[in-house]
A and B are shown apart, each in its own frame.
Chain A
Amino acid sequence: MDIKDIIKPENKVYSKSPVLLDNVMHYCPGCSHGTVHKLIAEVIEEMGIQEKTIGISPVGCSVFAYNYVDIDWQQAAHGRAPALATATKRLFPDKYVFTYQGDGDLASIGTAEIMHACNRGENIVVIFINNAIYGMTGGQMAPTTLMGMKTATSPNGRREDLHGKPLKITELIAQLEGTCYVTRQSVQSAASTRKTKRAIRKAFENSALKKGTSFVEVVSSCNSGWKLSPVKANEWMVENMFPNYPLGDLKDI
């Protein structure tokens, strides 16, 4: 049997989603962004909503999300994606609108925008990538940086007396009555990746049901910022990030 006899559509067990573009990703090897992008593209494909979905990309490494997911995109100023999403969803109530934001974007400079969009219960999806560091600007301390964690702006480790404790923004978001679904997931294993995909799908479905804001945190690795190999970064995440940011649903109405 020749290899050409095996490569047939009916024998295929996996293929790249057509909602993913062919551009080579600029993300570092081991970064979680690529996996989450893939999940979003797959959910959009499976729900058949490519023509009705508008993404809002942040400032940070994932500013270029529009180069990879083949939908219409707006690129927001740092932290302001929920404001763009609010107007877009209200002006196009039948479309699916989501923001894609990192921890610096969402939990630091954009706290006002995310809190108020969630409190108003905008029918949008928020994908929150928490890797406890500013990736694009070169590994500075984020609000979610763990105690003792070394970063470019906390070279001797985060200290409570200097920087306060990590901001548990997702716990705060879950308290807001406008949110219907708040969950914390990860993509460091095949099993966790499948769970995250289910969470993203549920979030998009909620937005069609007009139940309020759905918020999916993905605890992520930044091996370049953490100065670890991809494998070691995953291990470090399980050992250090998960105890501080435990996985699971915080709210599901």
Chain B
Amino acid sequence: MKGNEAIAISAIRNGCDGYFGYPITPQSEVMETLMAEEPWDSTGMVVLQAESETSSINMLYGGASCGKRVMTSSSSPGISLMAEGLSYLAGAELPCLVVNVVRGGPGLGTIQPGQGDYFQACKGGGHGDYKMIVLAPNSAQEMYDFVDLGFELAFKYRNPALILSDGVIGQMMEKVELRPMKPRWTEEEIIKMSPWATTGKTPDRKQNVLTSLALDAAVHEALNHRLIEKYKQMEEEDVRFENYLCEDADHLIVAYGSMARVCENTVDLARKEGIKLGLLRPITLFPYPTKEIQRLVPQLKTIMSVELSAGQMVEDIRLAVNGKIPVNFYGRLGGIVPSPEEVLEAFKKEINK
């Protein structure tokens, strides 16, 4: 199935309670698949086409406030419209899942794939000091698996989680292994697991109020500190990455999502020429595998970030490396995906400078 279809099927099979979305290329298959599957008749999952992305994300705020597993999907311009809502969700500490099947920008850009939303996903996008858990799948299987993982992490931290995919992964058709079904939570389970949720005030507890507003300076600073602690915990406990031929590597490519698939072949080509090249694929973009890069730096001569952007993730690599070795960058834009050979040429040009 297509990566986008895997998202939809996984939502139904992983006990998702509600999907709220708005059509935008290249991810409309997510809602189309859900509407065709009619999960309201099987699992009871709500699927609603909202009037805008602004509404979708605010429907998530409502659904997440109920302690339900709610999600939306969109593509770059739609995620920009959701930025306000994501900031509110993070501020009110509400768990939800957002899928961004990234296209080229800025503006209306192109419907071709891109990775230019890295900053938006990892550095905010909305206002205020907040972070999202960002997962970067590189296959239809990971699109399927990260729905469940995204919900798990979102509820672990009471924080929005975002799957940062791209047009290649969303549209690509691959075999997907379906995991066993997980049921939707009952209201009793929700009350037990998420005692903060607006399930209706009962005499045994105080009212639950879900807000991001705290006008008292000390209260607001304390809220921010609590968020910062949570983000630190994510960095300690939930960094995910994959190494490919790194242990003896002299040089390293760092790439995520569809670019990581291409760069794996680049590593194979380089190895055939006797160049000891390895690949690090960050799976979580926040929290970022900073420590893994720092572990590899002493053995490396150079690192190159390869992205479908003008150079965004490269900044996190440079922060990790802190000037110790050269960090190069190669990127293509406009929806052009470079071949493994093209990346190898770019890599050789840099190391022979």
Seen from chain A, the residues whose Cβ lies within 8 Å of a Cβ on chain B are: 50-54, 56-57, 63, 66, 70-77, 80, 83-88, 90-92, 95, 112-113, 115-116
Q: A52-B200, A83-B50, A112-B52 are in contact. Are A72 and B63 (CB under 8 A)?
A: no
B60-80 contacts to A, CB under 8 A, are 60-63, 65-66, 68, 70
> Could you say which residues of chain A place their CB within 8 Å of the CB of B202?
51
- Contacts across chains A and B counted by CB atoms under 8 Å: 121
Q: A71-B207, A75-B209, A77-B84 are in contact. Are A83 and B200 (CB under 8 A)?
A: no
Nearest A-chain residue to B69, judged by Cβ? A91
Complex: how many Å from CA A213 to CA B18? 21
| Interface size range of chain B in the complex | 35 or more
Q: A86-B62, A88-B62 are in contact. Are A75 and B55 (CB under 8 A)?
A: no
Q: Does B85 contact A (CB under 8 A)?
A: yes
Q: A80-B55, A83-B50 are in contact. Are A71 and B201 (CB under 8 A)?
A: yes
CB < 8 Å neighbour of A84 from B17, B61, B201? B61
Q: A84-B59, A112-B51 are in contact. Are A75 and B210 (CB under 8 A)?
A: yes
Complex: how many Å from CA A86 to CA B46? 11
> Could you say which residues of chain A place their CB within 8 Å of the CB of B61?
74, 76-77, 80, 83-84, 87
B60 in contact with A75 (CB, 8 Å): no
A-B contact pairs, 21 of them (CB 8 A): A50-B201, A57-B211, A63-B213, A74-B209, A74-B211, A75-B209, A75-B213, A76-B61, A83-B54, A83-B56, A83-B62, A86-B48, A86-B59, A87-B66, A87-B70, A88-B65, A90-B46, A91-B62, A113-B54, A113-B58, A115-B51
B207 in contact with A66 (CB, 8 Å): yes
Complex: how many Å from CA A115 to CA B199? 26
Besides the known contacts A74-B198, A77-B61, A87-B59, 5 further A-B residue pairs in the complex with CB atoms under 8 A apart:
A57-B211, A66-B209, A70-B207, A71-B201, A74-B211
Nearest B-chain residue to A96, judged by Cβ? B200
CB < 8 Å neighbour of A113 from B51, B92, B201? B51
Complex: how many Å from CA A216 to CA B246? 65
> Could you say which residues of chain B place their CB within 8 Å of the CB of A83?
50, 54-56, 58-59, 61-62
